[in-house]
């Protein structure tokens, strides 16, 4: 039994498992072989082969010369070397370049750092998407961590250029051969390095200025400290010193003071004596300062200083900041020596430098450094203090503005976009600028999280609006949004920023700037001007109602009139204002458009009832898109019906899906009020703007109107599939047992098709264009007489 | 006048350069692939440089090489010496293990999975015995087992056995536990080299 099992296992091994394993090995080795065949060789190039052979035959390809040349041209072109060899050579040459003139210590750490930089750059050149932030960071580190000067940076660029070129060539992407890239990737990478170095240099310069200012201030503080500590010298200089000095008792009262102190406090010298000095210091915080000062003294500390306190003296032209130094030696008993040094200039310079270092110099928004400091503070809080969210809005196309219209226009555009962003994101916790083309919005508070998505949507819409650049030209940028969130105590700033950067990477930035067509801009301008004029035009009676006849599809009899408002603008052509009214409703224009239209249309309809009697058509009125059927509207409709005593059953309201379905996806209760009164509801745009087919049976509809673009399927040369969608929509309406209306029926062929498919009513050119009430009345009369005449004949 | 290397004081024949050109054109694709797989871990530029070196030596010894009935073994030996020379100049051994630079700079055309498999296959090749590795590299360079046997002066059955064992080992190292290898490969990337070298390979032990 055991032997049989062993035989079976051996058979299993030899016939099933081992062949399968060898097949896998075959596959891997075949893959290896194919990869070896796919790697290109320079010797495959006939030209190179010819040159190589010629060099061999003529003796110019001597081995020693070869290696000597390669060694000499370590990174100057690097042709004929492997990329790894070039990397090593680059690092060595880079190390030399940096350590010749710069105070950089040459060591293993620096070599490793440069190697890491080189690998990162190579990866960015070869990667699918350029992570510009990572590349800029290399430039920043070159400037701030390594402190390399301009000469060394120039050498760095000279070294990096051939290396990145070689990496590009090794990857099979020669210049201009990238996927749609007109500029080779390595140029972009180098440009990012330069940009990062520039930003880093600026930071470095600001940091050095701050250090110089601080050092000067410290030197002066040391000087005055020595004076305060030296009692004899202090006594000698007390009266003659140009710096404010004085002697106080332990309660802070001035016992003796010099002219400079009196001048600083803007009071005469006698008035200064006997007053409490702390009342002049620190503004509202004087008590705190006094407490700090005297607690230090009483606590055994014989001297101390406060770097900068505001001076609260009255009558000063500008606020002053003073440094307060004091000392209380035993020889003078209870008297305290005090020096007040004016540090206003130093304080303002420090604040200016701090602002410059933490804010973008073009937009004035807080920069990445400030943002990271703030996020670090937030994320280092106790766990459970609330999620920190950050949205990055990259402005694709902003670089294109600077390239197309110049740097000044680019800076102006950024300022304009900043103003928009500040306005749109006013309720955010922090708006900052990550880099020259990316804004960042930080969300911290719970109330900010509630409105975050709406705020970002609004922000994106505002940023995407056309931006006037020069006279007559406007451009559109494309905002791209990335997001990341961190939890205090669990996420670091680095992780958060990395996550944010990765969220933007999948969408490659494009720097194409979309120039808005002038005609479109003009059209928008005209439309907005007309919208502003609309309320006045309604009052002046320039807007009139035209009626488009509605006919039965099977008989062709005119049974209804579709009221279409039209604006006869003085000096312009007649303007159809349906879209304008939609816009007015969308922006919340308070003009009473709907009641006005209803009132006019019902007046016409009542006139027809008087003249045409039983032939009078029903009336259909469009509700504007985004106009909600609410109680106010229902009351207005009922009021107009009552005013004209018009039978509600002869009024058809053409509504949109969003008008009769509430935000929770349920039918509005007001439609029951309307339909119970007898008003008929027609749903517009079936097939295009209707998504809740499941709700249609619950909407108390009289009929539906098929979307106009589906009617276009009724062409003489239909597509191969035929008007299947239109047919399906008509079938759907028939299934619901509601009327199905088609608009834009322009010829007999389309009418026949509509009739054949089962449409109930039609309107369009074949029935009649929009016309005045009198013309429509005439049309109905003519249509009625014609069959009678035909019957009589 | 061309600088023809003289051998044994005999004047060169008229078709001296043509012979060399013919040999160069016939052998360069194979040698490139062989060097690529065997000695430089798919670094195309290194392979080019080593191949140039091989033909440089071949040209200087052409008066002898041209007389060898089958010069392929001579070229393979020269390839090995040229590769050793090359890496010695770089103060490195012939690369066997994938390193950081390989991962970053080499073979970007393939997708990530294929590239990883490729690197794992190369790593598995590095663990093979010397002659088995030679045989496999030639097999990958496109030669049949019969041709490899002739070049290596071995029996075809021996080469067949070599290739079969090599396939088995590569599959055992890479194919059977590909997923686990990926994880280990990533973990190895994060470890210092000395740690990697000192750690016993459990799979190889099994």
Smallest CA–CA distance, residue A497 to chain B, in Å, is 22
Looking at residues A402-408, what average pLDDT do you find? 81
User: Does B110 touch chain A if contact means CB atoms closer than 8 Å?
Assistant: yes
User: Does B22 touch chain A if contact means CB atoms closer than 8 Å?
Assistant: no
Residues 239-298 of A with CB under 8 A from B: none
Q: What percent of chain A has pLDDT over 70?
A: 79
Looking at residues A116-134, what average pLDDT do you find? 76
Per residue in A568-614, pLDDT (tens digit) is: 777 666 776 777 777 666 666 555 677 888 888 999 998 888 888 88
Residues 60-99 of B with CB under 8 A from A: 89-90
Looking at residues A392-416, what average pLDDT do you find? 84
Smallest CA–CA distance, residue B10 to chain A, in Å, is 17
The DSSP output letter for B175 is I
Please tell me the distance from the alpha carbon of residue A174 to that of residue B179, in angstroms, as a whole number: 35
Average pLDDT, chain A: 77
Highest mean pLDDT among A48-52, A72-76, A327-331, B111-115: A48-52
Please tell me the distance from the alpha carbon of residue A11 to that of residue A587, in angstroms, as a whole number: 81
- pLDDT confidence of A301, banded at 50, 70, 90? low
Verify whether the Cβ–Cβ distance B56 to A42 is below 8 Å: no
Decide which of A61 and B156 is more confident.
B156
Q: Is A412 a residue whose pLDDT tops 60?
A: yes
- pLDDT confidence of B204, banded at 50, 70, 90? very low
Query: Are A651 and A672 a contacting pair, CB within 8 Å?
Result: no
Decide which of A789 and A522 is more confident.
A522
User: Does B54 touch chain A if contact means CB atoms closer than 8 Å?
Assistant: no
Nearest to A263 by CA among A304, A311, A217: A311
A225, A633, B44, B178 from A196: Cα distances, Å = 42, 59, 33, 41
User: Does A52 touch chain B if contact means CB atoms closer than 8 Å?
Assistant: yes
What is the CB-side half-sphere exposure of residue A198 using CA atoms within 13 A? 9
Tokens (6 digits) for B176? 């059977």
Question: Domains in chain B and their CATH numbers?
Answer: 16-89 (no CATH), 108-191 (1.10.10.10)
Looking at residues A373-401, what average pLDDT do you find? 81
* The residue to which tokens 């009625």 are assigned: A784
- Which residue of B28, B45, B51 is in closest CB contact with A82? B45
Phi, psi (deg, nearest 5) at residue A621: -125, 135
User: Does A16 touch chain B if contact means CB atoms closer than 8 Å?
Assistant: no
Q: Is A408 a residue whose pLDDT tops 80?
A: yes
Verify whether the Cβ–Cβ distance B142 to A59 is below 8 Å: no
Q: What is the largest CA-CA distance in chain A?
A: 138
Query: Chain A contacts of B36, Cβ < 8 Å?
Result: 36, 39
- pLDDT confidence of B180, banded at 50, 70, 90? very low
Query: What's residue A549's pLDDT?
Result: 92
Per residue in A315-333, pLDDT (tens digit) is: 666 778 888 887 876 555 6
Decide which of A431 and A786 is more confident.
A431
Query: What's residue A793's pLDDT?
Result: 37
Query: What's residue B13's pLDDT?
Result: 64
Helix A18-38 vs helix B112-126: crossing angle, to nearest 10: 110
Chain A residue with minimum CA distance to B42: A36
Q: Where are the alpha helices (DSSP H) in A613-723?
A: 631-644, 657-660, 670-677, 708-711
Q: Is A526 a residue whose pLDDT tops 70?
A: no
Query: What's residue B8's pLDDT?
Result: 41
Per residue in A531-547, pLDDT (tens digit) is: 777 777 777 777 888 89
Nearest to B44 by CA among A88, A41, A437, A15: A41
Q: Is A391 a residue whose pLDDT tops 70?
A: yes
Looking at residues B62-82, what average pLDDT do you find? 85
Per residue in A136-178, pLDDT (tens digit) is: 888 888 888 888 888 888 888 888 888 888 777 654 434 333 4
- pLDDT confidence of B187, banded at 50, 70, 90? very low
Decide which of A31 and A378 is more confident.
A378
Looking at residues A785-792, what average pLDDT do you find? 53
Please tell me the distance from the alpha carbon of residue A483 to that of residue A501, in angstroms, as a whole number: 9
Range of lowest pLDDT (A250-254, A759-763, B71-75)? A250-254
Verify whether the Cβ–Cβ distance A24 to B42 is below 8 Å: no
Q: Which residues of A249-262 are buried (b: 16+ CB within 10 A; e: fewer)?
A: eeebebebbbbbbb
Query: What's residue A550's pLDDT?
Result: 92
Decide which of B55 and A127 is more confident.
B55
Smallest CA–CA distance, residue A2 to chain B, in Å, is 24
Query: What's residue A314's pLDDT?
Result: 66
Per residue in A174-232, pLDDT (tens digit) is: 433 344 445 677 888 888 889 889 888 888 888 888 888 889 888 888 888 888 888 88
Cβ atoms < 10 Å from Cβ of A104: 17
Contacts of A137 (CB under 8 A, 6+ apart): A196
Verify whether the Cβ–Cβ distance B104 to A122 is below 8 Å: yes
- pLDDT confidence of B188, banded at 50, 70, 90? very low
Query: What's residue A700's pLDDT?
Result: 81
User: Does B46 touch chain A if contact means CB atoms closer than 8 Å?
Assistant: yes
Interface test with chain B among A43, A52, A112, A118, by most B beta carbons within 10 Å: A43
User: Does A83 touch chain B if contact means CB atoms closer than 8 Å?
Assistant: yes
What is the CB-side half-sphere exposure of residue A368 using CA atoms within 13 A? 21
User: For the whole model, what pTM was predicted?
Assistant: 0.47
First CA to last CA distance, chain B = 64
Query: Are A39 and B129 a contacting pair, CB within 8 Å?
Result: no
Cβ atoms < 10 Å from Cβ of B198: 8
Query: What's residue B94's pLDDT?
Result: 59
Range of lowest pLDDT (A4-8, A247-251, A303-307, A520-524)? A520-524
Query: Chain B contacts of A63, Cβ < 8 Å?
Result: 53, 56
Q: What is the ipTM of this complex?
A: 0.72
Q: Is A483 a residue whose pLDDT tops 80?
A: yes
Per residue in A734-747, pLDDT (tens digit) is: 888 888 898 888 88
Please tell me the distance from the alpha carbon of residue B150 to that of residue A266, in angstroms, as a whole number: 108
A–B CB contacts, 8 A cutoff, strictly below: 166
């Amino acid at each position: 039994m055991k032997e049989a099992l062993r035989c079976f296992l051996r058979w299993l091994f030899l016939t099933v498992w081992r062949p399968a394993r060898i097949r896998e090995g075959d596959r891997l080795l075949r893959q290896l072989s194919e990869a070896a065949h796919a790697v290109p060789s320079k010797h495959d190039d006939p030209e190179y082969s010819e040159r190589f052979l010629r060099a061999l035959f003529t003796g110019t390809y001597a081995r020693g010369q070869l290696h000597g040349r390669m060694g000499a041209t370590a990174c100057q072109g690097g042709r004929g070397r492997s990329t790894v060899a070039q990397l090593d050579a680059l690092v060595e040459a880079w190390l030399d370049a940096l350590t010749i003139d710069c105070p950089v210590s040459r060591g293993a750490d620096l070599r490793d750092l440069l190697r890491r930089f080189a690998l990162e750059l190579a990866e960015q050149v070869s990667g699918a998407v350029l992570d510009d932030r990572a590349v800029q960071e290399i430039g920043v580190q070159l400037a701030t961590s390594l402190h390399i000067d301009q000469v060394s940076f120039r050498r760095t660029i000279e070294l990096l250029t051939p290396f990145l070129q070689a990496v590009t060539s090794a990857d099979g992407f020669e210049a201009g051969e990238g996927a749609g890239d007109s500029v080779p990737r390595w140029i972009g990478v180098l440009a990012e390095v330069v940009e990062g170095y520039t930003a880093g240099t600026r930071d470095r310069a600001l940091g050095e200025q701050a250090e110089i200012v601080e050092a000067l201030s410290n030197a002066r503080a040391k000087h005055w400290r020595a004076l305060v500590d030296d009692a004899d010298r202090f006594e000698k200089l007390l009266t003659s010193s140009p710096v404010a000095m004085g002697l106080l008792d332990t309660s802070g009262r001035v016992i003796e003071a010099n002219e400079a102190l009196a001048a600083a406090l803007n009071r005469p010298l006698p008035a200064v004596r006997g007053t409490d000095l702390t009342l002049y210091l620190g503004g509202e915080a004087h008590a705190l300062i006094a407490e700090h000062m005297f607690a230090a003294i009483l606590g055994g500390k014989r001297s101390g200083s406060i770097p900068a306190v505001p001076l609260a003296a009255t009558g000063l032209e500008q606020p002053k900041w003073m440094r307060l130094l004091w000392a209380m030696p035993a020889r003078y008993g209870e008297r305290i020596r005090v020096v007040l040094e004016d540090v206003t200039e130093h304080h303002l310079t420090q604040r200016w430098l701090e602002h410059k270092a933490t804010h973008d110099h073009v937009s004035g928004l807080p920069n990445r450094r400030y943002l990271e400091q703030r996020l670090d503070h937030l994320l280092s809080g106790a766990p459970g203090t609330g999620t920190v969210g950050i949205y990055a809005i990259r402005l694709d196309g902003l670089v294109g503005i600077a390239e197309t219209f110049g740097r000044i226009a680019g800076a102006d555009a950024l300022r304009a976009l900043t103003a928009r962003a500040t306005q749109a994101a006013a309720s955010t916790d922090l708006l900052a600028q990550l880099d020259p083309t990316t804004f960042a919005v930080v969300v911290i508070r719970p109330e900010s999280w509630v409105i975050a998505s709406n705020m970002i949507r609004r922000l994106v819409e505002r940023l995407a609006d056309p931006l006037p650049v020069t006279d007559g030209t406007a451009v559109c940028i494309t905002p791209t949004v990335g997001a990341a969130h961190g939890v205090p105590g669990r996420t670091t700033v680095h992780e958060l920023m990395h996550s944010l950067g990765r969220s933007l990477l999948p969408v490659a930035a494009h720097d194409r700037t979309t120039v808005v067509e002038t005609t479109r801009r003009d059209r928008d301008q005209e439309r907005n001007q007309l919208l502003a004029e609309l309320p006045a035009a309604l009052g002046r009676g320039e807007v009139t109602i035209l009626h488009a006849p509605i006919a039965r599809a099977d008989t062709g009899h005119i049974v209804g009139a579709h009221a279409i408002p039209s604006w006869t603008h003085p000096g312009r052509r007649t303007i159809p204002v349906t879209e304008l009214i939609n816009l007015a409703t969308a922006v919340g224009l308070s003009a009473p458009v709907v009641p006005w239209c209803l009132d006019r249309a019902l007046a016409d309809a009542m006139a027809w009832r008087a003249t045409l009697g039983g032939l009078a058509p029903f009336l259909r009125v469009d509700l504007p898109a985004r106009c909600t059927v609410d109680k106010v509207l229902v009351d207005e409709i009922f009021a107009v019906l009552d005013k004209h005593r018009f039978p509600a059953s002869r009024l058809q309201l053409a509504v949109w899906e969003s008008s009769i379905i509430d935000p929770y996806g349920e039918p509005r209760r007001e439609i029951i009020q309307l339909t119970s009164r007898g008003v008929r509801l027609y749903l517009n745009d079936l097939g295009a703007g209707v998504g809740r087919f499941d709700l249609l049976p619950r909407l108390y509809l009289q009929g539906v109107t098929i979307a106009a673009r589906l009617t276009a399927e009724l062409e003489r040369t239909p597509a191969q599939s035929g008007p299947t969608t239109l047919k399906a929509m008509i079938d759907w309406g028939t299934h619901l047992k509601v009327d199905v209306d088609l608009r834009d029926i322009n010829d007999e062929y389309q009418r026949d098709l509509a009739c054949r498919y089962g449409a109930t009513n039609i309107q369009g050119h074949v029935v009649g264009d929009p016309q005045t009430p009198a013309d429509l009345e005439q049309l109905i009369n003519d249509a009625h007489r014609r069959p009678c005449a035909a019957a009589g004949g | 006048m061309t600088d023809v290397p003289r051998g044994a004081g005999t004047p060169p024949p008229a078709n001296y350069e043509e012979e060399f050109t013919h040999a160069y054109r016939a052998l360069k694709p194979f040698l490139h692939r062989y060097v690529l797989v065997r000695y430089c871990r798919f670094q195309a530029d290194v392979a080019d440089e080593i191949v140039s070196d091989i033909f440089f030596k071949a040209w200087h010894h052409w008066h002898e090489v041209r007389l060898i009935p089958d010069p392929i073994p001579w070229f393979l030996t020269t390839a090995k010496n040229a590769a050793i020379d090359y890496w010695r100049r770089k103060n490195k051994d012939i690369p066997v293990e994938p390193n950081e630079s390989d991962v970053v700079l080499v073979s970007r055309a393939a997708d990530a999975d294929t590239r990883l498999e490729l690197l794992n296959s190369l790593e598995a090749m590095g663990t093979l015995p010397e002659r088995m590795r030679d045989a496999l590299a030639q097999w990958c360079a496109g030669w049949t087992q019969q041709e490899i046997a002739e070049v290596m002066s071995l029996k075809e059955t021996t080469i067949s056995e070599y290739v079969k064992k090599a396939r088995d080992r590569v599959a055992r190292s890479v194919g059977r536990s590909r997923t686990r290898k990926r994880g280990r490969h990533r973990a190895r990337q994060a470890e210092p080299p000395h740690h990697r070298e000192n750690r016993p390979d459990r799979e190889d032990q099994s």
